Chains A and B, each alone.
Chain A
Amino acid sequence: MKLNDEEKDILAGKAGFVPQQALQHQIKVGEFFGAEDLVPVSQAHVMADTESLGEAGVRWLEGLAATADGQRRVRIPTITDPRGTDFAKADLLGQTSTMLDLERRAIAAFVKLGVTMTDTCINYQTIQAPTRNEHVAFGDTGVVIYSNSICGARSNFEGGPSALAAGLTGRTPRYGFHLPETRRASLRVRVDFTPTTLNGWGALGGVIGRLAGNYWSVPVIEGIEGSPRSDQLKHFGAAMASFGSIALFHLAGLTPEATRLTDVAAADLPVVRATRADVDNLQRSYHTDDQVDVVVFSAPQLSLFELRDLAELCDGRRFTVPMLAVTSPQVKPDADRMGYTARIESAGGSVLSGMCFYQSYAREISEANGWKRLATNSAKLVNILGGYGYRPMLASMESCVDAASSGRLART
């Protein structure tokens, strides 16, 4: 890879051990993908829940953080994805003191590195959305796909170590979705309906993710009517990224790089169809039981509007199974102030903050609480949780709230 003088100095250790290590990691990854050089980035977003890091990852972070002050801090705004707990609700989740200690150690290390602990996967709704052509190093797949597709920013999937490296060096290898040619559509999908529910948008994202198949595939989608809302596209993108490892999509006539189909695709790109039946089939395939043990709204964290809608559905209810709603530390105070938290919790639900359900020792909290049959309106969540031993079921927010009341999930 070509390095400029500043990068050569970092690699030589003149800026200290931590940036040197970071750049070595970036060069290894960049050369794997044939990157010619590095591109400056303006923001980084680090996924680092401690179930993923484990003891080894936390020790690795602590090793970086033990470096002398002045040689270990990030150079650009560097923020965090959800943590592995909400410390105020850890007992409710059945998390152990070992898990919480590991979380505290990771947080202390990140703070020493200068990382801003935002603990959110909806930073594009709550912190600062990137702008068109802004090169960033984001590290939650839902964040990346939304930033690339809806905002027109440029990011690859940056896992925790690489996003942190980008924060420490202020750059990232220039490959993948930093390059204009990689952002052209490779799959043309025509849909025959426009979903109205968040689970419907997520399921459609899942169907298209499966069709697309791998990270390097870029779908352009035709047939969406109206102007989808941010929360709808949040679920759509998060599910597409989850089911297909997709980092960028275009909506013809809607998203910034696809004013016209031919802006991003050859006119003769073959059409693949995604139908309402495909979406219904995906949702039905997860409905494997009628009883539920827990209801979860998470993945991505809920916006203030989602919490408002949920609060309205909770009025006058008395839940018979646990109902968890997970949001960001930026949204939670507003939800408290608007009374949404109190309305949800009056019905027996719980509003958690700064974590995400699947990133919070999902297997262990399942075993601790006897949670197997889980109802959610998040297509992303149902795609993830099978491997953790759950039987996840996908339904509308309304049906999930009904299930929290009755313990039964109605079939549609």
Chain B
Amino acid sequence: MSARIFRARHAMGPTVRGPTLVAHDGFSARYDLNRINGVFSRPTHKLVGQSYAGKILVLDTAKGGVATAWMLHEMQSRGIVPLALVLNSVNPILAQGAALGDVAMLAGFDEDITAAIPHGAEVEVNPQAGVLTLLG
């Protein structure tokens, strides 16, 4: 089976490869995460209880406030951080946080990326090329 490729309109950060956590839900580091334990903690989040460290998060859109702009950097410093963020749309805060924290990010696809990528799939995020590749 050949790899499927999805093109993003917005991209930054290093190329990474890893397993996905997928949900049609939002993302805010302050609202949704227990950053000490590295799990989604917001009771109503579809990924509640799941560990995000080393995972490529595939989610719908950015939610909430401005704290994520600092928090991705803080999470990166402790190594308890998502490998990459892949979203249908982002707000400036996620982009600013990814820039400071050097976290790979892709956003803006021609289809709902949360429907296109299976939960737990192995993917490669290549911001230089602006593509997400569903492997194997």
Closest chain-A Cβ to B93's Cβ sits at a distance in Å of 5
Once the chains are docked, how many angstroms separate the CA of A152 from the CA of B66? 21
Decide yes or no whether B50 CB sits under 8 A from chain A: no
User: Which residues on A sit within 8 Å (CB–CB) of B96?
Assistant: 25, 29, 158-159, 161-162
Closest chain-A Cβ to B30's Cβ sits at a distance in Å of 7
Once the chains are docked, how many angstroms separate the CA of A358 from the CA of B30? 9
A241 — nearest CB in chain B belongs to which residue?
Answer: B65
Asked if B74 contacts A245 (CB within 8 A), the reply is no
Given the known inter-chain contacts A32-B12, A57-B73, please indicate yes or no for A158 contacting B89, CB distance below 8 A. Answer: no
Q: Interface stretch among A68-76, A85-93, A380-388? A: A380-388
Asked if A160 contacts B69 (CB within 8 A), the reply is yes
Number of interface residues of A (CB under 8 A): 45
User: Which residues on A sit within 8 Å (CB–CB) of B76?
Assistant: 56
A380 — nearest CB in chain B belongs to which residue?
Answer: B65
Once the chains are docked, how many angstroms separate the CA of A271 from the CA of B53? 42
User: Which residues on B sit within 8 Å (CB–CB) of A244?
Assistant: 63
Q: Interface stretch among A186-194, A211-219, A275-283? A: A211-219
Closest chain-B Cβ to A286's Cβ sits at a distance in Å of 11
Decide yes or no whether B133 CB sits under 8 A from chain A: no
Given the known inter-chain contacts A29-B99, A53-B74, A386-B44, please indicate yes or no for A242 contacting B65, CB distance below 8 A. Answer: yes
Once the chains are docked, how many angstroms separate the CA of A141 from the CA of B92? 11
Once the chains are docked, how many angstroms separate the CA of A33 from the CA of B94? 12
A247 — nearest CB in chain B belongs to which residue?
Answer: B91
Once the chains are docked, how many angstroms separate the CA of A214 from the CA of B61? 7
Once the chains are docked, how many angstroms separate the CA of A54 from the CA of B68? 12
Decide yes or no whether B6 CB sits under 8 A from chain A: no
User: Which residues on A sit within 8 Å (CB–CB) of B41?
Assistant: 387-389
A27 — nearest CB in chain B belongs to which residue?
Answer: B99
Interface flags for B68-108 (1: CB within 8 Å of A; 0: not) read 11110110111000000000011111011101100001000
Decide yes or no whether A109 CB sits under 8 A from chain B: no
Asked if B95 contacts A32 (CB within 8 A), the reply is yes
Decide yes or no whether A257 CB sits under 8 A from chain B: no
* Contact-residue bracket for chain B: 35 or more
Once the chains are docked, how many angstroms separate the CA of A55 from the CA of B62? 25
Which residue of A140, A159, A242 has the most chain B CB atoms within 10 A of its CB atom? A159
Which residues of chain B from 30 to 84 have a CB within 8 Å of any chain A CB? 30-34, 36, 41-45, 61-71, 73-74, 76-78
Asked if B65 contacts A140 (CB within 8 A), the reply is yes
Asked if B70 contacts A158 (CB within 8 A), the reply is no
Asked if B99 contacts A384 (CB within 8 A), the reply is no
Decide yes or no whether A363 CB sits under 8 A from chain B: yes
Given the known inter-chain contacts A158-B96, A387-B32, A387-B42, please indicate yes or no for A215 contacting B12, CB distance below 8 A. Answer: no
Decide yes or no whether A104 CB sits under 8 A from chain B: no
Once the chains are docked, how many angstroms separate the CA of A161 from the CA of B36? 22
Supply 18 A–B pairs (Cβ within 8 Å), ascending by A: A28-B99, A29-B92, A32-B12, A34-B10, A47-B65, A47-B69, A54-B71, A56-B73, A140-B65, A157-B65, A159-B68, A159-B92, A160-B70, A215-B61, A215-B89, A245-B64, A358-B30, A363-B34
Question: Which residues of A are interface residues toward B (Cβ below 8 A)?
Answer: 25, 28-29, 32-34, 47-49, 52-57, 60, 139-141, 156-162, 176, 213-216, 241-242, 244-245, 247, 358-359, 363, 383-384, 386-389
- Not counting A54-B70, A57-B73, A242-B64, a sample of 14 additional A-B residue pairs whose C-beta atoms are within 8 angstroms of each other reads A32-B12, A32-B99, A52-B74, A60-B100, A139-B66, A157-B91, A157-B92, A158-B92, A162-B69, A162-B96, A176-B92, A213-B61, A241-B65, A384-B64
